[in-house]
């Protein structure tokens, strides 16, 4: 079963089917994708005064998911969106609302983000000692569960969580701000893809994704690319075709 297909457990809502069709070559340690890479623009790079129109524009121009970075000023040195803001975004998101929590603690806020309409909720393994419980709670609240790793955290830190997660988010910048320089995590991505094996788990890359870095992470095994400035640069709700051109360019680069 795909990680973003509907859970059959009671209490789980139905989400869009996002099948991962890929072939992993263990000897070469490479991943060959048989479908389009998913592009998840981060609205942290959008026009803050016009979020609704920006979300509608990127979706109309080919975004697969909408990525929302939640920061608390404690776990990371910045403040962004709380549950009320995410709830306000929900009517505008027609694809998948991918909410990335860069907060600590996490568990106390899971139900609030579920009520706000998150489809996928990702927590950092560094945010607390009970990630196993956190992922169970996220799924129990009807969302897909993701776990994120900072650049300094090794892949094997999440090995015991693979049966509880639908997505692993690999940070390729130190979290807290958009527009940072890409940190090469391709070895970590390859290790994760080998660990995942036949499990239906997405590998998402967050940080410094553009037409130069997209092919590197895709070849290593990533299948969801979060891009902020690389999508929004040069465009606006009045010139949305620029967003479309940027999304197409990143996707084409990733797919080779």
Residue 140 lies in a domain: yes
What is the reported pLDDT for 180? 73
**67, 40 Cβ separation under 8 angstroms:** yes
- Beta strands, E only, the chain: 22-25, 30-33, 38-41, 66-71, 97-102, 120-124, 144-149, 167-171, 202-206, 224-227
With cut-offs at 50, 70 and 90, classify the pLDDT of residue 20.
very low
Residue 236 lies in a domain: yes
pLDDT digits (tens, 9 = 90+) for 137-164: 999 999 999 999 999 999 999 999 999 9
Residue 175 lies in a domain: yes
pTM: 0.87
In this structure, what CATH number is given to the domain that contains residue 138?
A: 3.20.20.70
Mean pLDDT of 63-80: 96
Mean pLDDT across the chain: 89
Tell me whether residue 179 is annotated as binding: yes
Tell me whether residue 207 is annotated as binding: yes
Residue 30 lies in a domain: no
Q: Give 154's DSSP letter.
A: -
pLDDT digits (tens, 9 = 90+) for 79-118: 999 999 999 999 999 999 999 999 999 999 999 999 999 9
Tell me whether residue 92 is annotated as binding: no
Tell me whether residue 9 is annotated as binding: no
How many structural domains is the chain composed of?
Answer: 1
- Token pair 């969302």: residue: 143
Q: Quote the Cα angle for 187-188-189, to 5°.
A: 90
Residue 219 and residue 33: Cα distance in Å, rounded?
A: 9
If DSSP codes are grouped into helix, strand and coil, which group holds residue 19?
Answer: coil
Residue 89 and residue 101: Cα distance in Å, rounded?
A: 16
Tell me whether residue 177 is annotated as binding: yes
Residue 156 lies in a domain: yes
Residue 12 lies in a domain: no
Residues belonging to the active site: 69, 206
With cut-offs at 50, 70 and 90, classify the pLDDT of residue 181.
confident
**144, 18 Cβ separation under 8 angstroms:** no
pLDDT digits (tens, 9 = 90+) for 200-245: 999 999 999 999 999 999 999 999 999 999 999 999 999 999 999 9
Residue 97 and residue 67: Cα distance in Å, rounded?
A: 6
Tell me whether residue 42 is annotated as binding: yes
Q: Which domain holds residue 69?
A: 39-255
């Amino acid at each position: 079963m795909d990680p973003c297909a509907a859970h059959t457990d009671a209490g789980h809502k139905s989400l869009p089917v996002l099948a991962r069709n890929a072939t992993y070559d263990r000897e070469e340690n490479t991943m060959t994708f048989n479908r389009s890479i998913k592009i998840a623009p981060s609205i942290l790079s959008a026009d803050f005064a016009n979020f609704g129109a920006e979300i509608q524009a990127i979706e109309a121009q080919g975004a697969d998911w909408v990525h929302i970075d939640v920061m608390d000023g404690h776990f990371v040195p910045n403040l962004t969106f709380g549950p009320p803001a995410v709830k306000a975004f929900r009517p505008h998101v027609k694809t998948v609302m991918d909410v990335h929590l860069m907060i600590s603690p996490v568990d106390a806020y899971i139900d609030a983000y579920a009520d706000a309409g998150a489809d996928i909720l990702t927590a950092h393994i560094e945010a607390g000692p009970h990630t196993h419980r956190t992922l169970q709670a996220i799924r129990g609240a009807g969302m897909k569960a993701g776990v994120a790793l900072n650049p300094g955290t090794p892949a094997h830190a999440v090995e015991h969580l693979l049966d509880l997660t639908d997505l692993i988010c690999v940070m390729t910048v130190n979290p807290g701000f958009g527009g940072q320089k890409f940190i090469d995590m391709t070895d970590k991505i390859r290790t994760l893809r080998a660990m995942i094996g036949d499990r239906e788990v997405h590998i998402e890359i967050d940080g410094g994704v553009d037409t130069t870095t997209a092919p590197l992470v895709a070849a290593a095994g990533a299948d969801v690319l979060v891009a902020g400035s690389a999508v929004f640069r040069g465009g606006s709700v009045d010139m949305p075709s620029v967003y479309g051109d940027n999304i197409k360019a990143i996707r084409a680069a990733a797919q080779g």
